[in-house]
Amino acid sequence: MNKITAAKITDNDYSCIVSFLSYEVNVDDQLSRMKLPESENTDILVDLALVSGLGEFRFAKFSLDEEGKIILASKAFVTPSPELENTANKILARHRNHVIASFLSRSQKDKILNA
């Protein structure tokens, strides 16, 4: 069962959304292993909904170095636009079983699965 997924997006600020599909992973460890393709945008959006819930710590922004490696020290928690949050929900909705098995409340699961 996958624990993480990355989806390229068209956005002025971010090149992709990396979504964690399980709370049972070490976020920094997983991110430090990733190498993403070159892009005009040097920032990525990490969706931690299934790790930390839908509150203020759901989304984190990270920068990429010249080789596509994630710079862990660049982490900043952000509030994306409603459109980008909807895109993130749709990405998670493709992984229905992970959402259903998560610790999120029924209403939070429904918000994601009905995006």
- Give the DSSP per-residue string, 66-112: TTSBEEEEEEEE----HHHHHHHHHHHHTTHHHHHHSS--HHHHHHH
What pLDDT shows up at residue 74? Answer: 97
The average pLDDT across 16-40 equals 91
Grade residue 1 by pLDDT with cuts at 50, 70 and 90.
low
Residue that the structure tokens 């922004």 belong to: 61
Supply the mean pLDDT for the chain: 93
Record the pTM.
Answer: 0.94
pLDDT greater at residue 1 or residue 39: 39
What pLDDT shows up at residue 52? Answer: 94
Residues for the chain: how many in total? 115
Grade residue 69 by pLDDT with cuts at 50, 70 and 90.
very high
Closest CA to 45 of 8, 73, 96: 8
What pLDDT shows up at residue 2? Answer: 79
Q: Rounded distance, CA 54 to CA 4, Å?
A: 17
